[in-house]
A = this chain, B = another copy of it.
Amino acid sequence: MTQQSRPVYLKLRDQIAAAIIEGVYAEGEMLPSVRAFAAEQGANPLTVAKAYQQFQADGLVEVQRGVGMYVVRGAAEKLRRSEREQFLAREWPELKVRMKRLGIDPTELLAHS
């Protein structure tokens, strides 16, 4: 049967993204080192590095070799915008279809807030 568990590096990636957006890792500040974060999360440093890499590629964090990775100014808002766009374009459409198929009314769900 196997399973389909979300890869660790993606979980970490989402977790970090949320932290950046919410200001836990404020702009201009340093991200936890790959080793520190790995130890904290019980993961492998390389796996953490893989999660960090995407932010670096997107220009959301800057690497100072031998020092660490810093959150770029405007990263939080930039990240929020791109994630928002991704969500609306990719996930929401099929999500809406699926909810309709399951007989779920989105407006009803908001009442339980």
Contacts and interface: CB of A to CB of B under 8 A. Distances in A.
Interface of A is mostly: helix
A8 to B, nearest CB: 12
Nearest to A14: B98
Given A7-B4, A10-B4, A87 B102 contact: yes
Interface residues of A, number: 27
A26 interface: no
A84 B101 CA distance: 9
A80 B103 CA distance: 8
A109 interface: yes
8 A-B pairs with least C-beta separation: A84-B102, A83-B102, A106-B106, A21-B101, A80-B102, A106-B110, A87-B102, A84-B104
